Homo-oligomer: A and B are copies of this chain.
């Protein structure tokens, strides 16, 4: 091994320049879509505290893990989960091969757009709907279906495509955390294989950092080609007390920050904020009927009651969409 001696000064010079370049002479606002106020200050202060080596709250980069619920936290969930919209569209696409669906609930309700009958079918009906529309194909086939669907599917009242409806302030927050050495995970009650197709484009989160509900799968070799086959059987429900279980199963250590919006995220916030060390738990409160939707205690989808009742006592930050967010939706910069 021969080394040229001229290289030896470079690391020092690079380090010196990097330090000079990092001086805060030009510090841009990392969260321009957030209004100045206690919520923004708390988030920025938390990130500063855990990344400042002189701080008593300093956390090494490897342990800087933040988890985010998806529906209602990173994008909308009203009037129905995006995944349900996908399932209903799939029922329509698959209906020609299932003549029995014209008389069989909950498929009949799905085909007729009968929201009342659909709701009446309850959780059992929804699971049936999801299994019938999300399984039976290979993982690659399913991913291709989701990709195609997402290209055109639009929100029924907001008019934009779903993939344009992520919350700009939350995208900025994800970016800000990652710029500060955080690994960002999504922990969703929704189906993991749907979200993984979209997570990079929507949030800059790679598929391996998406945790969600899942169907069982099996490995097969079909015509010499290995495939993962999706079975019509629930493997894991990543909701409520399932969220800490999912975090433990997939990450294997406790995150230091968690963001949710409904009581489905309660246990996740409770788990993450139980310490030790400085932790951040935050709830996005949908109180903005003008720009999005306003709902909490009485909502059917995304109900938030216990979280609101206990947030103060538990030290959780309640983010007001109306007051704390300068914008809600905005094209990616």
Contacts and interface: CB of A to CB of B under 8 A. Distances in A.
Given A4-B25, A241-B219, A248 B228 contact: yes
Contact of A248 (B1, B139, B271): B139
Instruction: Count copies of this chain in the complex.
Output: 2
B13 A17 contact: yes
Given A214-B249, A217-B249, A250-B250, A14 B3 contact: no
Contact of A274 (B20, B226, B267): B226
Given A193-B252, A244-B219, A253-B208, A7 B28 contact: no
Interface residues of A, number: 54
A10 B267 CA distance: 46
Interface in A137-154: 139
Interface in A6-59: 7, 10-11, 13-14, 17-18, 20-21, 23, 25-29
B62 A206 contact: yes
12 contacts: A3-B26, A10-B21, A17-B17, A62-B200, A62-B206, A196-B252, A208-B251, A217-B248, A219-B245, A226-B244, A226-B270, A226-B271
Interface of A: 1-4, 7, 10-11, 13-14, 17-18, 20-21, 23, 25-29, 62, 65, 139, 183, 192-193, 196, 200, 206-208, 210, 214, 217-219, 221, 225-226, 228, 235, 241-242, 244-245, 248-253, 267, 270-271, 274
